Amino acid sequence: VMEFTNPVLTIGDPELIKQISVKDFHIFTNRLHRLPGDPFFSRLLLFLQNDDWKRVRCILNPAFTSARMKRMYTLMSACADNTVEEFERLASESGEINLKKFSSAQSFDTIIRCTLGVETNAHKDPNNSLKVNIERFLDFSSWRFIAILLLPNKLQTLLGIQQTPEDVLSFFRNSMSFILNERKNKNVKGNDILQLLMDAELDSDAVTQQKELNKADEQYFEETPKNL
């Protein structure tokens, strides 16, 4: 098939899909042929290429073990309790429920709680600033999204076109910086994905430091006989 001017091979054989997705997964490092011009999106794992993808993947891989993921069950359970409480309230008042709005709020609370460890309640506070900015972040109906699909990356950069408005990106940067600083400065740990990634980063730094120490030791012992 063709994706605009780019040929795309679609795999339909289950065995070949399994081969690519499991055994040869490390070979297929580049997910999308067309990269976004937006620097914010370009650094996401989905858009990283070649050695950059392999490096980040190696850091993230140990974070998502089944044992670590199970820690988030209590967070999901707390969000489910809020959902049940809101469901009972609506049922007792009018008996009418906007399922799209209701399920959207429940999904938002669960995802934010499990990823960032931030407690929200979109049922009671639908205009939460985090929720509003995420909705703007995921808005693919604007002219910006069409431009990103049609225009070459260099032209996007030249024209200053970004899929996400700058004020939304600034909101996320500031929010993430605040959350990270709070955890690091107060030594607060959560059972969420952000904590898994922070732990993975620390593990990666420790491995790098150990490799540097080992290299220094090897160099020392190689040079020592020459100096005697």
DSSP state of 1: -
- Confirm whether 224 is domain-assigned: no
pLDDT at 220: 46
Contact 195, 201 (CB under 8 A): no
Mean of the pLDDT values across residues 139-150? Answer: 74
Please state, in angstroms and rounded to a whole number, the distance separating the CA atoms of residues 59 and 74. Answer: 25
Mean of the pLDDT values across residues 100-126? Answer: 90
pLDDT at 39: 66
Element holding 7 (H helix, E strand): strand 6-7
Q: What phi and psi, each to the nearest 5 degrees, are found at residue 103?
A: -70, -30
- Confirm whether 215 is domain-assigned: no
Residue 198, domain extent:
2-208
Please determine, for residue 16, whether its predicted confidence score (pLDDT) is greater than 90.
Answer: yes
Please determine, for residue 179, whether its predicted confidence score (pLDDT) is greater than 70.
Answer: yes
User: What is the SS3 assignment for 6?
Assistant: strand
- Confirm whether 121 is domain-assigned: yes
pLDDT at 109: 93
Contact 30, 46 (CB under 8 A): no
User: What is the SS3 assignment for 2?
Assistant: strand
- Confirm whether 41 is domain-assigned: yes
- Confirm whether 160 is domain-assigned: yes
Please state, in angstroms and rounded to a whole number, the distance separating the CA atoms of residues 63 and 193. Answer: 8
Please state, in angstroms and rounded to a whole number, the distance separating the CA atoms of residues 65 and 200. Answer: 12
Please state, in angstroms and rounded to a whole number, the distance separating the CA atoms of residues 85 and 108. Answer: 16
Task: Please report which confidence band the pLDDT of residue 78 belongs to, taking 50, 70 and 90 as the band edges.
Answer: very high
| pLDDT, the chain, mean | 79
Residue scoring higher pLDDT (77 or 7): 77
| CATH number for 117 | 1.10.630.10
On whether the pTM is more than 0.85, the answer is no
If one counts the domains in the chain, the total is 1
- Confirm whether 216 is domain-assigned: no
- Confirm whether 79 is domain-assigned: yes
- Confirm whether 228 is domain-assigned: no
Q: What phi and psi, each to the nearest 5 degrees, are found at residue 226?
A: -70, -30
Please determine, for residue 211, whether its predicted confidence score (pLDDT) is greater than 60.
Answer: no
Highest mean pLDDT pick, 61-70, 73-82, 194-203: 73-82
pLDDT one-digit tens code per residue, 148-170: 777 777 777 787 777 778 888 88
